Each structure stands twice: as structure tokens, then as C-alpha cells.
């Protein structure tokens, strides 16, 4: 199939960027979206132009590195996949595809389509863990976890930290990301000891970093490649309220 690509090009964090249009011919529908970009880059290199820079690594939808805003949707038109698992068969011959980087104040563009998501690391560093030192753990089966809670915790823990929730949200809110981590530990007995501190610290950091507020439009949930539920946001609100009030 033949395509027209409109891609955001930006030399570095300080430079101004602009959209550049590239025609691309003879793309197989079985090609993945990132392989399509590889083909474009190969052609650019042949012309001694700088290839389009974008984040990617595992290309199997689990590392969370790919971060493309494709035709108005994070990770593109397919549901429950990351951009690396999006295939060109989801597009038609002659389509124009606009590719933008994630846009949010806490995610500044580094180059082209690559953004800096270290804000997520900073939030996790505030308390996205259980404080246990190596070696001091008790026998694993001493901690019993009901199946239902363990499944819900796993649902929340499936987050890959890609930032699609922030990219999709009209407010660039990170509530789904933060709540997934808060929920995972709120649902497990191991997480109870630090629960109050955890939610307060993580939310404070989220606010400080300049993410927007949640206005319950649930775009995050709709775009999450791992189908993280908005019920996690409710759980975090509850945890937060309890931590503040009680």
C-alpha cells in the first residue's frame, strides 16, 4: 500500500519542531507500524537525511518504550496494543498518517518522536514499592493472598509505563499510571504497612511534576494497551481520602 506520512521532526529539546511530509510506497499490510518506520528510515539514510528518531525496544508490547501518537490516538487505531504491535493492515492504501510525540508538560520532547518519561520513574521512586531489604523476607506461603485480590492486583500490575494514558488524557493526567501502582499494593497484604504514606507521596510527586487533574473522561482506560481499569483510579481516590482523613 502507498501512504503519506506527516511526522513531527524536532532536532533537540531546545529547537522548534515542525511536521514534515514523507510519501512511502509499497508497504506490506503484514508489516508492523515500527517496521514501516524502519523502511522510511532506510530510505532517509540512503538520501543522507537523518532518520526519524522514536523510542522502541522489545517490539512485543511489553517494555513500554514505544510512544507514538498516531492519527489522534496513542498507539494508533487498534485497541489494546502498543505501537510496536500495531500492523499496517489497520490502514488503507492512500491513507495519510500523522505521527506526533506524546504531548505533556512532564514529557518534554528529546528529539523527533522521542520524549523524556523519567517523570514516571520519579513517581515510582516516591513509593511505588514495598520497603523490604534483600534477605529479610519471610517464607513466601506465610503471606496468604485471596485469589480475587491477587488477580485484581495482577490486573493493575500489568501496567507497562508507556504513558499512553497521559498522552490520551485531555488534561495530560497520570492518574491511571499512578493508581495502577497504588492499587497493586493496596490490594495485597504486603502493601498495607506503607499504604498511607505511599499514596500521599506518589500523588504529591505526580502533582509537582505538572501532570493535569483527572476529569473522569476515561480516555486513559480506552487507550491503555494493557486495559488497566479506571476502577484503580477510584481505589486510589479512596486510599488517598482514607490516608488524609483517618
7 near another protein, judged by CB under 8 A: no
Q: From the CB of 68, what's the least distance to another protein, in Å? A: 12
20 near another protein, judged by CB under 8 A: no
Cell triple for residue 188? Answer: 495485597
> Which residue, chain included where needed, has cell 534477605?
135
225 near another protein, judged by CB under 8 A: no
Kindly write out the interface string for residues 193-222 of this chain, putting x where it contacts another protein by CB under 8 A and - elsewhere.
Answer: ----------xx-xx--xxxxxxxxxx--x
Q: From the CB of 224, what's the least distance to another protein, in Å? A: 11
145: nearest Cα among 111, 104, 190, 108: 190
85 near another protein, judged by CB under 8 A: yes
Q: From the CB of 101, what's the least distance to another protein, in Å? A: 9
Q: Cβ(3)–Cβ(37) under 8 Å?
A: no
Kindly write out the interface string for residues 93-132 of this chain, putting x where it contacts another protein by CB under 8 A and - elsewhere.
Answer: -----x-x--xxxx---xx--x-xxx-xx--xxx-xxxxx
Residue 146 φ then ψ, to 5°: -60, 145
State the alpha helices, DSSP H only, in the chain: 33-46, 118-125, 147-157, 164-168, 175-186, 195-208, 219-223, 231-245
Number of residues that bind another protein (CB under 8 A): 126
Q: Decide whether 94 or 136 has the Cβ nearer to another protein.
A: 136
Task: Catalogue the E-assigned strands of 43-169.
Answer: 68-70, 73-74, 96-101, 109-111, 114-115
Subset of 134-163 contacting another protein (CB under 8 A): 134-141, 143-147, 150, 153-154, 157-158, 160-161
Amino acid at each position: 500500500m502507498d501512504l503519506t506520512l506527516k511526522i513531527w521532526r524536532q532536532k533537540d529539546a531546545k529547537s522548534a519542531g515542525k511536521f514534515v511530509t514523507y510519501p512511502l510506497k509499497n508497504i506490506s499490510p503484514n508489516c508492523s507500524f515500527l517496521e514501516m518506520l524502519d523502511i522510511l528510515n532506510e530510505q532517509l539514510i540512503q538520501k543522507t537525511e537523518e532518520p526519524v528518531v522514536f523510542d522502541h525496544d522489545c517490539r512485543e508490547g511489553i517494555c513500554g518504550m514505544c510512544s507514538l501518537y498516531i492519527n489522534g490516538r496513542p498507539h494508533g487505531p487498534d485497541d489494546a496494543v502498543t505501537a510496536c504491535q500495531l500492523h499496517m493492515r489497520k490502514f488503507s492504501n492512500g491513507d495519510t498518517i500523522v505521527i506526533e510525540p506524546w504531548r505533556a508538560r512532564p514529557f518534554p520532547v528529546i528529539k523527533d518522536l522521542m520524549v523524556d518519561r523519567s517523570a514516571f520513574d520519579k513517581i515510582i521512586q516516591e513509593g511505588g514499592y514495598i520497603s523490604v531489604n534483600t534477605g529479610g523476607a519471610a517464607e513466601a506461603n506465610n503471606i496468604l493472598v485471596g485469589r480475587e485480590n491477587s488477580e485484581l492486583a495482577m490486573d493493575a500490575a500489568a501496567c507497562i509505563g508507556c504513558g499512553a494514558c497521559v498522552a490520551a488524557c485531555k488534561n495530560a493526567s497520570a492518574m491511571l499510571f499512578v493508581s495502577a501502582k497504588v492499587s497493586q499494593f493496596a490490594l495485597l497484604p504486603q502493601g498495607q504497612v506503607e499504604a498511607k504514606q505511599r499514596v500521599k507521596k506518589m500523588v504529591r510527586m505526580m502533582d509537582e511534576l505538572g501532570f493535569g487533574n483527572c476529569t473522569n473522561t476515561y480516555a486513559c482506560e480506552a487507550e491503555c494497551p494493557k486495559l488497566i481499569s479506571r476502577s484503580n483510579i477510584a481505589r486510589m481516590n479512596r486510599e488517598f481520602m482514607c490516608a488524609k482523613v483517618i
